[in-house]
Chains A and B, each alone.
Chain A
């Protein structure tokens, strides 16, 4: 299910039409006009980057880093090879927006990446696609063939002397490859183990060359910014939170799906668009930005707007925009156990605090859930977490600790009840 209410990326895309992803449909919606205008006017690279900066676009992959600023770090005039890389390794539990971009509007991503290539002086790009969505990988390759045949990709694009080519690469089942340096390792044909930073990819990226990595949704927003102007994009959202954003709503709502809405929209309005709570049940908790974001109680969420600043002020993160909605039948110990298992399973094992710590977190939560919790376990979880967060090569360890801290903070009574009475406070029916 995909519903796009007011969109930058999905404006005019009729997802019920099987051909909506095709080049002809994209061109009919004004596609590739942004690229044409840049190439025909030979727009200076720094002007393109300035436009992206002025739009207020912040990275849609999780960290929310300003995209234009990231592009300005690339050594544009460095004469050797340089790369742009797209991160479609969407595997953060709750996130399924990039898959819909590939399914319904892949040319927006392709055009955005060509423009990025132009702005940063690169001739080659790669899109790294999550292995589990293989059908979308194949569809993206078909879209690349269309773009190549129409002269948008390859040598001497539209006869302007600018050359750029783009290729798809697939993962094969490893969440950690969503982390940008693990992704680069994987693209080089290695195990997906994150690199130490610095050096950052802008100076030492793919094959050791300067590289810029952005999320699918970030790149796919660029054609709109160039065609309609930074100001219009900025105004679609709110200050410091430019644009619309795709929210993947999952869990206990009547209509799970993707919703593209202005940043700054109240959470209550988003919940209503998603059909409200499933079967009229009561809202208990929301994870507002993918499984790595701290959980917030339902009543806190009902007062928030969906944008980077509002969610972070409330103590969580907008992250990837994955909104996981839970009703009052959810046992929070059970829910956390499932997430803890995931991080334990997906740790790449390079750093001892993460490799051992994620195992500890899972085992302790598992024993609480199974009626074997000990009075000191909540303190133990806290101290294990303190020994992990900020002490590892990449942020997966922090991502594993955030849910533990927030679940045990906001729903402490449920954990205590479990430990004391050896059973759930909530008679859950969901698993």
Chain B
């Protein structure tokens, strides 16, 4: 279900923990699985975690599927629902809001024509609101596809960023 490259990455994670504690690697393993789906999926439904993928990861690590499922649903960066090619999470917590975080979210929402929590009909963008990302000095900030932090997201910076995304 996952490529050999993804499995090799998971093996590397497992090696960080004591031999009888493969369960510790479940967070990275789910992240690696999700990342593969994000890169290979062609529609929103193929870019998120599914019960089958979670079960596969659990079996690979030798832990009960419910243990992996619990983790996938507890931590909110794991996409459990269909998601666009570009997932944009805007921080609107207080320190960011003081420097325009809410305006940033509204600006993107108007530009893409979708509300928070929605995906554009062409499946390209999903817009979400997030909590503090530990980057408040660079406010307003947004996280692109979970792993790329974009700083100082003024309207001009947003225009530029969105134009880059194909």
Contact = CB atoms under 8 A, between A and B. Distances in A.
Nearest to B25: A189
B13 to A, nearest CB: 9
Contact of A90 (B28, B31, B75, B134): B134
A338 B97 CA distance: 9
Contacts of A346: 131
A96 B27 contact: no
A335 B101 CA distance: 13
A324 interface: yes
B95 A324 contact: yes
B136 A93 contact: yes
B94 A190 contact: no
A430 B100 contact: yes
A170 B131 contact: no
A171 B97 contact: no
Interface stretch (A8-16, A70-78, A247-255): A247-255
Contacts of A322: 95, 136
Interface in B10-53: 16-18, 21, 23-28, 30-31
A173 B75 contact: yes
B112 to A, nearest CB: 20
A94 B132 contact: yes
Contacts of A175: 131-132
B72 to A, nearest CB: 9
Interface string A230-257: 0000000000000000001111100011
B18 A187 contact: no
Interface in B38-82: 63, 67, 70-71, 74-78
A239 to B, nearest CB: 30
Nearest to A323: B95
B155 interface: no
Interface of A: 1-2, 81, 90-96, 98-99, 126, 130-135, 167-175, 186-192, 207, 248-252, 256-258, 291, 322, 324, 326, 330, 335, 338-339, 342, 345-346, 430-431
The 10 closest A-B pairs by CB, nearest first: A173-B77, A189-B23, A431-B102, A132-B133, A172-B75, A250-B95, A173-B76, A167-B16, A134-B147, A93-B132
